[in-house]
Structure formats: structure tokens, C-alpha cells
Amino acid sequence: MAETGRLSAAPSFNLRADPVLALRVAIIIAVLVLWQAVAASGLLYRDVVPSLFAIGGALVKLLTSPEYYRNLGVTAGEVGAALLIGGLSGLVVGLILGGSRLLARAYEPYLYYLGPTPKIIFFPIMIMWFGVGPGSKVAMGAISCFFPIALSAAAGMRQIEPILIRVGKSFRANTWQMVSKIYLPAMRHPIINGVRLGLGVAIIGTLLAETKLSNQGLGFLIIQAYSLFDMPRMYAMLIALFMIAIAANAVVGWVGNLDRVKAGAS
């Protein structure tokens, strides 16, 4: 699963030599051409499907405005804090559930039921608890990423080769050494996968919350553009956001591939 979802056919850019890359590029071109055709045809209201040039212009304007970067910083900070809080608590809960058959049987069903629940229903509560500022957004992001990370960590812990645990015990590693030197490194792939899923839903949770009730952040900018009916700007924002999501995913995947190098340095 880790392999198939990766968007990094990085090295070769030779379209003829790489049919996968050629197909990927082809569909993007097809969508752009179709979009431009629809925009030019006037079949839909001009502002709903603005021309690529209008979007491109808005994108340039957006990417050169300090306002965008300030709000990007706010959202990035919220997502980062959410990932930190939700991720660490998810990791701890996952380790506990992964380590205890009894607790896993008792509590893991809750995680499975709550995991797929749309977290936005908690937003009103979070506003009451943490206010309309970044606090409630962080909370939404944290709740969102807690579940996939906890479940991945619990599953990952159960997949650790028992022999590695026996080796650790035979060398008399204490609990902390077992966790830091055996459990966590042995679980690196499921954990990174969990963080990847968690990052995705943390971004979703945070942005969704921002679009609902906020006065800053990318979600706020998008909904502001929408209410001002500035469609090129809104599409530009979506494109920018899309790029950020891809970049974030690539970074997490890259960190995941680092493990050999990292292990060598420890």
C-alpha cells in the first residue's frame, strides 16, 4: 500500500521510455484542455468555470501576496500542532492497545466506530471549549488524526516479529529501551503510514473547521473568495492547496524511505 500510493516516479522524465508517466501527464493535459474548452464555449456561466489564464493570473497574484503566506502560516501551524498532539496521543494509545490483548479487545472497537465518524460534528463543542481562534482548529485536526495513527500503531505493534522482542529481552533491555530501540523502529512503516493518513485527515479537519467559522487561515481565504464570488482566486487557492498536500505527502514518504539512512546514523 505504501508503494502504490506514491506519486514519485521521480527520476525519468522521458515520456516515451516511461508509459506510466506519459499516462499521468496525458490525463492532466486532457483535463486542462477540457476545462479550457468549457470555459471558452460559454456553456457554463463564465465565472463558474473561468479560463485557465484567469486562474493562472489569480494564482500568480495569490502566490505573490503576503496575505496568502500569513494565512498559510496560520493553517500550517494549526495542522502541525494538530499532528503533534493527535499523533503523539495516537501513538501512545496505539502502543498501549498493541501491547495489551485485553485492552485492545476492550477499547479498539471504539476506535473503529469513532474513526470513520465525520469529526466536523465535534466542531461546535470545540468552539465552546477552545474558542473561535486557532485552538478549535487544532483540536479538530488533532481529533481527526488521532484515530488513523492510533489504529496503525496498534496494528503495527502486533506485527512486530516476536523474535526481535525476545532478543531485546535476552539483552535485558528495560521498558523504555524496548520501546525506543525495538518497538518504534520495528513499527516504522505502519507508523509512517498512519502519520500519512493522519496528516491528510488533519489537513481536512483543520481546513473544514476554518471554512466553517474563523477569521484566518487558508480555509478562511477560500470561503472568503467564494463569498466574494472571486472564482479565479478560489480555484487558484485550491490549486495551491493541492500542491501543498502533495508536497506534505511526499515529505512524509521521503522520511519513510529514509529509515535505512536514519538507522545507520543512530
Take residue 21 and report the three cell numbers written for it: 508517466
Nearer to another protein, 4 or 266 (CB): 266
Take residue 237 and report the three cell numbers written for it: 487557492
Q: Is 179 in the site for another protein (CB under 8 A)?
A: no
Residues 110, 112: Cα–Cα separation, whole Å = 5
Nearer to another protein, 140 or 153 (CB): 153
Take residue 180 and report the three cell numbers written for it: 525506543
Minimum distance, C-beta of residue 249 to another protein, in the bound complex (Å): 22
The Cα diameter of the chain in Å comes to 74
Nearer to another protein, 92 or 258 (CB): 258
Residues 127, 79: Cα–Cα separation, whole Å = 17
Among 159, 177, 215, 257, binds another protein (CB under 8 A): 177
Q: Is 46 in the site for another protein (CB under 8 A)?
A: no
Q: Is 11 in the site for another protein (CB under 8 A)?
A: no
CB 190 within 8 A of CB 156: yes
Q: Residue 73 CB: number of other CB atoms within 10 A?
A: 13
Minimum distance, C-beta of residue 47 to another protein, in the bound complex (Å): 54
Among 55, 83, 186, 191, binds another protein (CB under 8 A): 186
Residues 149, 198: Cα–Cα separation, whole Å = 6
Q: Is 169 in the site for another protein (CB under 8 A)?
A: yes
Q: Applying CB under 8 A, which residues contact another protein?
A: 161, 163-164, 166-167, 169-173, 177, 181-182, 185-186, 188, 259-260, 263-264, 266
